[in-house]
Amino acid sequence: MRLRTRLTLWYGGAFFAAGAVLIAVVYLIVRDRVSQNMPDTGDSLDAIARMRAQFGAEDAELAALIETVIRRQEAANDATLQAVLLGSVAALVVVGLLAVAFGSLIAARVLRPIDAITATATRVADRSLHERIGLQGPNDELKRLADTFDGMLARLDSAFEGQRRFVANASHELKTPLAINRTLLEVAAAGPDADHRVRDLAANLLTVNERHGRLIDGLLHLAGSEQAPVDPAPVDLADIAAHVAAQFAAEADEAGVTVDVEAGEAVVVGDAVLLERLVSNLIANGVRHNRAGGTLRVATGAAGGRARLAVANTGPVVAAYEVDSLFQPFRRGEGRDRIESVRGVGLGLSIVDSVARVHDAELTAIPGREGGLLVTAVFPAA
């Protein structure tokens, strides 16, 4: 039950309880006043009976008339008390229902700032930390709560922004020595006095240097993919899927993987570069973590106004409990974790997850029964 409903029920119950007590008090006061203004009926009737026995017929008729008047007055008093009680109950019901409706409106107005805080927290959790509540109004408890929440968001935004800048700056700084090392290794290997041992050593060091370069590029993309698009624009995932699949055609042929692309129109509002990186990482993951003679299926489409991208491969068997860990940085399948791998550095699916989150996409991964992984990204309606 929602808080608004509970507050309304509590308010309505308190109102009806207070109304019932008020009706009881009013009824008792009216009954007491009526009984004070009327003589005791039993005593009056006894007096009339004695008058009939002591006096003549005319006085007896007078006594009978008085008795009739007393009984009618008593009946009128009872009817008055009953009318007061029924009228009060009816008024309580009508006014109580109106009070419940009014209480619901008041509860909604009181809870509106809390709804704003909740909506902002939801958007911040799904997108970025740049949004603020900015609640306007008197400096009450809700205003102070909203201001505290805004201050917490500002500190978190500053901390994460500093972390992203550090990763980006460190990655850029590391690229320079890697480029120098690569040049020196290539020059040493191409020298006229270099024997086969020097060339083999240079080749191995160049392979390590290349992997470090991919790692730095992955860190740069991961740092950039966690920021919401600055200027989102409509992008068709079908065009991106076809373009990226063509880029990986040679690598897929070398690995013996058949790539099947079903490019249906799927328009997404977002950053084209980030979306291309998402599709590229999924296709690269599907090709490199596959088996010889396997297949890779890439499908895009739209349903209910929502764009959908699905990438499925026929790679090794993935346990269901390991799927979530694949989207963490530096985690790889096939039992490898933070180790050397010629097929990647363990950041591909982490970047996919970051890009999906900043585009409000629902990302799911389901392991196949015979191996492989089906990754689906469903984007909000454009």
Please answer whether residues 305 and 375 qualify as being in contact, where contact means their C-beta atoms are separated by less than 8 angstroms: no
Same domain? For 163 and 299 the reply is no
Please answer whether residues 185 and 209 qualify as being in contact, where contact means their C-beta atoms are separated by less than 8 angstroms: yes
Domain boundary among 126, 150, 177: 126
Domain boundary among 126, 161, 178: 126
Same domain? For 84 and 154 the reply is no
Same domain? For 212 and 237 the reply is no
Phi/psi class of residue 284: alpha, beta or left (left: φ > 0; alpha: ψ in -120 to 50)?
Answer: alpha
CATH number at residue 304: 3.30.565.10
Q: What per-residue confidence (pLDDT) applies to 172?
A: 72
Same domain? For 316 and 270 the reply is yes
How many domains does one find in the chain? 3
The reply to whether 134 falls in a domain is: no
Is the model's pLDDT at 141 over the cut of 70?
Answer: yes
Same domain? For 120 and 15 the reply is yes
The reply to whether 42 falls in a domain is: yes
Give CA–CA dist 382/379, Å, rounded: 8
Angle at 243 between CA 242 and CA 247, to 5 degrees: 115
Q: What per-residue confidence (pLDDT) applies to 86?
A: 87
Give CA–CA dist 351/277, Å, rounded: 8
Cβ-proximal residues to 141 (8 Å cutoff; 6+ apart), any chain: none
Mean pLDDT of 40-57: 57
CB-based burial label for 329 (10 Å; 0-12, 13-18, 19+): middle
Closest CA to 315 of 349, 342, 285: 285
> Coil, strand or helix: which one is 367?
strand
Average pLDDT, the chain: 79
Give CA–CA dist 246/253, Å, rounded: 11
The reply to whether 284 falls in a domain is: yes
Between 31 and 279, residue with greater pLDDT = 279
Same domain? For 116 and 164 the reply is no
Give CA–CA dist 378/360, Å, rounded: 9
Closest CA to 257 of 281, 291, 282, 297: 291
Mean pLDDT of 264-290: 89
Same domain? For 364 and 246 the reply is yes
Is the model's pLDDT at 378 over the cut of 70?
Answer: yes
Give CA–CA dist 179/189, Å, rounded: 15
Q: What is the tens place of the pLDDT at every residue in 117-127?
A: 777 777 766 55
Same domain? For 205 and 261 the reply is no
Closest CA to 35 of 67, 65, 86, 73: 73
Same domain? For 240 and 363 the reply is yes
Same domain? For 198 and 329 the reply is no
Mean pLDDT of 82-101: 86
pLDDT band at 359 (very low <50, low <70, confident <90, very high): confident
Between 221 and 325, residue with greater pLDDT = 325
The reply to whether 114 falls in a domain is: yes
Is the model's pLDDT at 177 over the cut of 50?
Answer: yes
Is the model's pLDDT at 256 over the cut of 70?
Answer: yes
What single letter denotes the amino acid at residue 164? R
Instruction: State the residue range of the domain holding 244.
Output: 233-378
The reply to whether 133 falls in a domain is: no
pLDDT band at 340 (very low <50, low <70, confident <90, very high): very low
The reply to whether 132 falls in a domain is: no
Same domain? For 111 and 158 the reply is no
Domain boundary among 193, 225, 257: 225
Same domain? For 249 and 342 the reply is yes
CATH number at residue 187: 1.10.287
Give CA–CA dist 77/158, Å, rounded: 78
